[in-house]
Amino acid sequence: MLYDNKNGKVKDSYDTPLFGTLAADSPIPKNKIGEQPLEPRLAYQLIKDELMNEGNARLNLATFCQTFMEEEAVKLMSETLEKNAIDKTEYPQTAEIEQRCIQIISNLWNAPGEQDTIGTSTVGSSEACMLAGMAMKFRWRKRAEQLGLDLTKKPNLVISSGYQVCWEKFCVYWDIELRQVPMDADCMSMCPDSLLTYIDEYTIGVVGILGITYTGKFDDLEAIDQVLSQYNETTEHKVYIHVDAASGGLFVPFVKPELRWDFRLKNVISINCSGHKYGLVYPGIGWALWKHREYLPQELIFEVDYLGGKMPTIAINFSRSASQIIGQYYNFIRLGREGYRRIQQKTQDVAHYLADRLEKTGRFRIYNDGSDLPVVCYALKENVKLEWTLYDLSDRLLMRGWQIPTYPLPARLENIIIQRIVCRADLNYDMAGLLMNDLLEGIQELDNAAVLVHGKKTEPKVYGFTH
């Protein structure tokens, strides 16, 4: 506690320096609310300081989530934080903007009849996948009832073993068997040839992934669609596709518009994406769309009053800020198709550049050079004898502030340990060059390291920076 020489306790005045105030002289409340208020500038400073040693978002190449938006977008979003997206009566124009985003996205995904597409914004792809999964389950149940299946039996969902955890959650929440098609070592995605062996009349749907989180590779949706077209011709128990395009949904339409993965495919009936991945918005926005209204079961559409009329609400969450929706719309009108194309193409070029530099070191086998998602994914070459592992390299990079994870691939490929660099819009060539310098230096340090951390007899343990 601060005391002066004469009277004991001192008081603050308007010119007391921030770090000389009485409040700055004691710890901030942590687990119990403080009795007295704090001055706003001090509260701001103390919390900001507390967050200071967290990673630098721009150097975090582990995440797909956006780490840069233009000043005008940030301004617009902070000015609209108080708008509640669900309150469509109070904020009808925000509701209109959400609908415009849905139309824009349905058009990017080549929906056949724009007017007939139905969709919603969500907090992210996890919520969107949950909705799409429920729609599949409800549709399956209706079919199953009509066809006289045993409804006490557990239905299943078919997906590649490279699925994102939201699908595991969906299956646990809804008591569904998660049937994993093992990822193929050559293409690092679902192998369509074996797909049918996983499908039966209790299959609620197949999920194709446009951008497998582990590797950045795309499932071959055209091939999956063909397999299911043939299957559906032979049976009443039709199986349709949902595409989890969390990362690829707002990337592919700009750099590879000819790739057929979307509503152009006969059996694709719903798609989700994360606006906060390659949609280029800060975290908190996702989208779920159904090709035709009829694919979204009526039970999942709830009506709210909207300016005397009715407005359907589909999302799980009720109140949340509309600012992310507004941020998404800002990007759409600000960037346009050409703006998105340039940004995404540049991002892919940087990924190719990194893959090329990594290849040239002679140390790595490249699994994705950025040709699908702009993600560079690599393992140490097996025939190169080294005393260190990729986990050590991740740690070296972390010392320079780069977060680049190392982890094993999923089931049946778990012996392959890979490292992954997710390129995003704000990773430019200069930064990529700095990263390569740090990486090469890290390799050199490890090659020359006097102390080796791995025991000769035991397997190297998983440690260091993983994801």
Ligand X SMILES: *Cc1c(COP(=O)(O)O)cnc(C)c1O
Site residues for ligand X per CB under 6 A: 64, 124-126, 129, 164, 166, 209, 211, 213, 244, 246-247, 274, 286
CB of 185 to ligand X, least distance (A): 20
- Cβ closest to ligand X, residue 98 vs residue 392: 98
Q: Where are the alpha helices (DSSP H) in 179-239?
A: 221-233
Query: Which residue number, 167 or 332, has a Cβ lying nearer to ligand X?
Result: 167
Q: Which is nearer to ligand X, 21 or 66 (CB)?
A: 66
What residue is closest to ligand X based on CB?
124
For ligand X, which is the closer residue by CB, 161 or 274? 274
| Shortest distance, position 211 Cβ to ligand X, whole Å | 6
Find the shortest distance in angstroms from Cβ 246 to ligand X.
3
State the nearest-atom distance from the C-beta of 56 to ligand X, in Å: 20
CB of 168 to ligand X, least distance (A): 11
Contact 17, 39 (CB under 8 A): no
Q: How far is the CB of 381 from ligand X (least distance, A)?
A: 27
The helix/strand/coil state of 356 is helix
Both tokens assigned to 353: 């550049």
Tokens of 112: 């056949």
Min CB(14)–ligand X separation in Å: 45
Of the pair 129, 191, the CB lying nearest ligand X is at: 129
Of 180, 222, 169, 231, the residue nearest 201 (C-alpha) = 231
**Which 8-state DSSP code applies to residue 210?**
B
3-state SS track over 137-191: HHHHHHHHHHCCCCCCCCCEEEEECCCCHHHHHHHHHCCCEEEEECECCCCCCEC
Which residues 6+ apart lie within 8 Å of 49 measured at CB? none
Residue type, 445: E
- Tell which residue, 329, 298, 328, 326, has the closest CA to residue 314: 298
What does the alpha-carbon distance between residue 375 and residue 377 come to, in Å, rounded to a whole number?
6
Q: How far is the CB of 124 from ligand X (least distance, A)?
A: 3
Closest CA to 166 of 346, 316, 10: 316
Nearest distance from C-beta of residue 464 to ligand X, angstroms = 23
Element (H, E) at 398: helix 390-399
Instruction: Compare residues 276 and 396 and give the one whose CB is closer to ligand X.
Output: 276
Q: What is the DSSP letter of 300?
A: G
Please report where in the chains the tokens 């549709």 appear, as a residue.
139
CA nearest 366: which of 419, 413, 313? 419
The answer to whether 312 touches 300, Cβ cutoff 8 Å, is: no
Q: Which is nearer to ligand X, 133 or 211 (CB)?
A: 211
The CA dihedral of 30, 31, 35, 39, to the nearest 10 degrees, is 30
Backbone angles phi, psi at 289, to 5 degrees: -130, 145
Q: How far is the CB of 148 from ligand X (least distance, A)?
A: 34
* Cβ 283 vs Cβ 311: under 8 Å: no
Nearer to ligand X, 21 or 419 (CB): 419
Q: Which is nearer to ligand X, 28 or 65 (CB)?
A: 65
* CB nearer to ligand X: pick between 156 and 189: 189
